[in-house]
Structure 1
């Protein structure tokens, strides 16, 4: 008589999770094991992993036809995280365990041939989804249990071997657990989030530090232009340290992305915004995400709620730079591939750094510059107008001509002091935009800005528009900067001086 066993797992399309219901059907026929329901190659290979692992737990594999269906059948499934659930469904169909024991339970884990359960990426967002779907329990690899327990109000059980799963669900197993199959990850994989450094370590550059503080206070993108060695990279790497700490929901978002990328054990749960700095040879797929079948996250998604730093920005390919235009506006990225469209969040702060010319020395009187005029024009023109128009703050980073012993920079402010001032300004913006769903000035709608900015301040914007210093998009961004500057000084709305500074910040003080 044919029997059916059931189990549930979690699949992903991008960062969007969906429940995968598995039904194993053991019927009469020649020995054959098939998995249907749009599995990818790694999931199709689960047939050998599941068969060998179950036999390692003392289970006699049915010498009949075994079919496992993954539903919904129209959704592509990928990865090895479904191995343990497939094994559970087959064991239920064979009568080894009770299928009722898996009701309202999600099972995640990759199987080794000896039956050991290996950790898998994406456990945190999977458990979050399981909880939202009313599941009461999740069974995960023992190495992922700390990650799964970050989600409250859902029971979490860790297993190290498929035999432990069988015993957990009321069956009997015969297996030997190798001492190497512990609960911990290999040495060296656990580490705290990398330190971002302190702004007080940067000598001079007070104006640039102030500009980055404005960027952090309003969520603005920034471009730093200056000669080699002026401190552009050092300044950008310290921006996360002065940004407002992540809230609980934001921490969960960042951790979910890192879990899906398999890097959560490196960083853990932290309130420090992420920092990504791809090399200038990175392709467009490396930046926004890519891959065959279903696209995987790129650098802009890993920088979600944090900073994406593009050093030597003009050296990036034109195609890679142009792919940033949509996520800069929308805060997300949709990647369509043959097996589906993956959606990933990408609300990051972009910081670009550039030399003034290919050799880097076209500053001041330009005596050291060896570049031809056309080479200088061609170099910087790689940053197209549409990209530069989306960069709110554009500042010159001059060279440092003197080292003063004991210099604390930024008028003695360290990152903690600057972060406190940023948080205060963010609180002002959050209170003002409470009814609009915006969290910072960079997200404010242009219509709202034009309605609530004083006529005297708007007059300065109109002059800049008339002279060609600003485009219409640039005018809105200058007004957003003016509101941020008003928040930083404790004002209720921007005055003419705030607007003048906002326009100057957009035009590299020219």
Structure 2
């Protein structure tokens, strides 16, 4: 009895696991079955693999062929296991030598003509293989650029199943289509991302820019409320330009998410924090993740280590907004579906923008506002108390009443603001190194209470007594005070920084 085997890797969310693919050719009526909890797209691999093997010159066994995917208790999905299935069948049929693929991970989707197509999610697979000590991989040629991102791996790229047969010492007869010969990595039309822009391009709004700088320095969430055209969207879209560049580990983390989503070719490896701006009509599944069987990532996961910008925040459905409460606290999202639970990282900075009322002109004197009082109350009440309590900074963005020719004197650029942010974040990171925190927004309430002066704590207690702060709000005000102290070069916050932190928590209306 000959059993052919190969190794593949499956993904449940971003968590990878090694899959052993075994093929057994046994006597019986011709039949090809795949067992081990495959999904619909993986079950369809029977036809793809059979045709691809025949296209490489192999005579398909006119007997029973059984392929098992182990561990059988883990759900497998997608077409990335096609090439490993083909390799195991070829090994069982004696086309390639048994054992030639020992310790080798084989990945790729196969076409009916035997060509090997690129897959999504290769980067987290490579990182998992490296951690497991599996250094040799066979991947599609279309993933060559992505495979080169991880050092210390022995990666071989193939374009056709026949190339895999020849590589393992077998004989193959195949013709490589011209389209494949000239194909490059994930050969879709490249997507050109729009430029981020510079803070100096935004007219006025010095206080809002300062608030954004504080948010970037401490990792705080922020809400901007102001009339239409005051610059809220422009300011938010430029926030990644003033944030700390991602370090190497964070870059790979963000790139792994983009690899899973299939958007890595558009971004590449970058130290610029991600920026996601879902439309206000987005569904709950689009925002937090969803899908049948095993849930896929949503906008909050794509914004991991970056900014989630929610423009026209009160226009989002209340149910959608409420789903953000747990990720804002925990930094991850757990999505349970019929075939299991997937965990995705979601440590993002949320920036919300809102008008003060449906018409947008209730701010200032309010003389242009055409809304009834009950409409204004109903509009802004869509941002519930629990959501607002999780937003550290809430600022008014006034209408701009004067512009000048050219760049205004004293207008700070994104590069200038980023210098101050990096300096403050470095101080916090060094302070919190023993605890594994990277910014003030991650500090625990217990640590804050133990290390903040009694005079500063007294201001927090007064705000608690006056019901201006909740207990969660008190911790967040203290985190803001520590960020302000870091920006001013102080060892710890005093009453002045604490007073500013409390004021930043409460929007003046």
Give the structure-1-normalised TM-score. 0.98
Q: Following TM superposition, by how much is the alpha carbon of 1:132 offset from its aligned partner in structure 2, in angstroms?
A: 1.1
Tell me, yes or no, if the aligned pair for 1:104 and 1:134 is still in contact at 8 Å. Answer: no
Residue 436 of structure 2: aligned partner: 437
Give the alignment of 1:359-370 within 5 angstroms.
359-370=359-370
Q: Distance in 2 between matches of 1:54 and 1:187?
A: 24
Residue 13 of structure 2: aligned partner: 14
Tell me, yes or no, if the aligned pair for 1:192 and 1:268 is still in contact at 8 Å. Answer: no
Q: Do structure 1's residue 304 and structure 2's residue 307 form an aligned pair?
A: no
Residue 210 of structure 1: aligned partner: 210
SS in structure 1 at match of 2:178: coil
Residue 340 of structure 2: aligned partner: 340
Q: Following TM superposition, by how much is the alpha carbon of 1:265 offset from its aligned partner in structure 2, in angstroms?
A: 0.5
Residue 79 of structure 1: aligned partner: 78
Q: Distance in 2 between matches of 1:469 and 1:12?
A: 46
Tell me, yes or no, if the aligned pair for 1:457 and 1:496 is still in contact at 8 Å. Answer: yes
Tell me, yes or no, if the aligned pair for 1:201 and 1:408 is still in contact at 8 Å. Answer: no
Residue 381 of structure 2: aligned partner: 381
Q: Deviations over 1:441-489 (max 9, x none)?
A: 0000000001100111111111111111111110100000000000011
Q: Distance in 2 between matches of 1:187 and 1:10?
A: 23
Residue 170 of structure 2: aligned partner: 171
SS in structure 2 at match of 1:271: coil
Give the alignment of 1:81-480 within 5 angstroms.
81-181=80-180, 182-185=182-185, 189-191=189-191, 194-408=194-408, 411-480=410-479
Q: Distance in 2 between matches of 1:311 and 1:412?
A: 25
Tell me, yes or no, if the aligned pair for 1:160 and 1:183 is still in contact at 8 Å. Answer: no
Q: Deviations over 1:351-393 (max 9, x none)?
A: 0100000110001111111110000000000000000000000
Q: CA RMSD in A?
A: 1.1
Tell me, yes or no, if the aligned pair for 2:257 and 2:301 is still in contact at 8 Å. Answer: yes
Tell me, yes or no, if the aligned pair for 1:189 and 1:266 is still in contact at 8 Å. Answer: no
Q: Deviations over 1:408-454 (max 9, x none)?
A: 47x33211111111111010000100101100000000000011001
Tell me, yes or no, if the aligned pair for 2:186 and 2:265 is still in contact at 8 Å. Answer: no
Give the alignment of 1:485-500 within 5 angstroms.
485-500=484-499
Tell me, yes or no, if the aligned pair for 2:285 and 2:291 is still in contact at 8 Å. Answer: yes
Runs of 4+ more than 2 Å apart: 185-195, 406-409
Tell me, yes or no, if the aligned pair for 1:24 and 1:90 is still in contact at 8 Å. Answer: yes
Q: Following TM superposition, by how much is the alpha carbon of 1:186 offset from its aligned partner in structure 2, in angstroms?
A: 6.3
Total equivalences in the alignment? 508
Tell me, yes or no, if the aligned pair for 1:4 and 1:93 is still in contact at 8 Å. Answer: yes
Moved more, 176-185 or 265-274: 176-185
Tell me, yes or no, if the aligned pair for 2:118 and 2:186 is still in contact at 8 Å. Answer: no
Q: Distance in 1 between matches of 2:499 and 2:368?
A: 33
SS in structure 2 at match of 1:99: coil
Q: Distance in 1 between matches of 2:256 and 2:463?
A: 43
Q: Distance in 2 between matches of 1:405 and 1:496?
A: 41
Residue 28 of structure 1: aligned partner: 27
Q: Following TM superposition, by how much is the alpha carbon of 1:225 offset from its aligned partner in structure 2, in angstroms?
A: 0.3
Q: Distance in 2 between matches of 1:187 and 1:50?
A: 22
Q: Distance in 1 between matches of 2:400 and 2:98?
A: 71
Q: Following TM superposition, by how much is the alpha carbon of 1:188 offset from its aligned partner in structure 2, in angstroms?
A: 5.7
Alpha carbons of 1:434 and 1:190: their partners in 2 closer, same or farther (altered >3 Å)?
Answer: same
SS in structure 2 at match of 1:459: helix
Structure 1: any 5+ residue segments left out of the alignment? none
Q: Following TM superposition, by how much is the alpha carbon of 1:213 offset from its aligned partner in structure 2, in angstroms?
A: 0.4
Tell me, yes or no, if the aligned pair for 1:6 and 1:88 is still in contact at 8 Å. Answer: yes
Q: Distance in 1 between matches of 2:186 and 2:33?
A: 34
Q: Following TM superposition, by how much is the alpha carbon of 1:195 offset from its aligned partner in structure 2, in angstroms?
A: 2.3
Q: Distance in 1 between matches of 2:501 and 2:193?
A: 34
Q: Distance in 2 between matches of 1:426 and 1:189?
A: 38
Tell me, yes or no, if the aligned pair for 1:300 and 1:348 is still in contact at 8 Å. Answer: yes
Q: Distance in 2 between matches of 1:505 and 1:189?
A: 45
Alpha carbons of 1:398 and 1:289: their partners in 2 closer, same or farther (altered >3 Å)?
Answer: same
Q: Distance in 2 between matches of 1:429 and 1:443?
A: 10
Q: Distance in 1 between matches of 2:427 and 2:237?
A: 26
Tell me, yes or no, if the aligned pair for 1:202 and 1:408 is still in contact at 8 Å. Answer: no
Moved more, 431-440 or 412-421: 412-421
Q: Distance in 2 between matches of 1:304 and 1:157?
A: 31
Give the structure-2-normalised TM-score. 0.98
Alpha carbons of 1:492 and 1:192: their partners in 2 closer, same or farther (altered >3 Å)?
Answer: farther
Q: Distance in 2 between matches of 1:498 and 1:190?
A: 47
Q: Do structure 1's residue 484 and structure 2's residue 483 form an aligned pair?
A: yes
Moved more, 180-189 or 229-238: 180-189
SS in structure 2 at match of 1:412: coil
SS in structure 2 at match of 1:101: coil
SS in structure 1 at match of 2:390: coil
Tell me, yes or no, if the aligned pair for 2:142 and 2:186 is still in contact at 8 Å. Answer: no
Tell me, yes or no, if the aligned pair for 1:233 and 1:353 is still in contact at 8 Å. Answer: yes
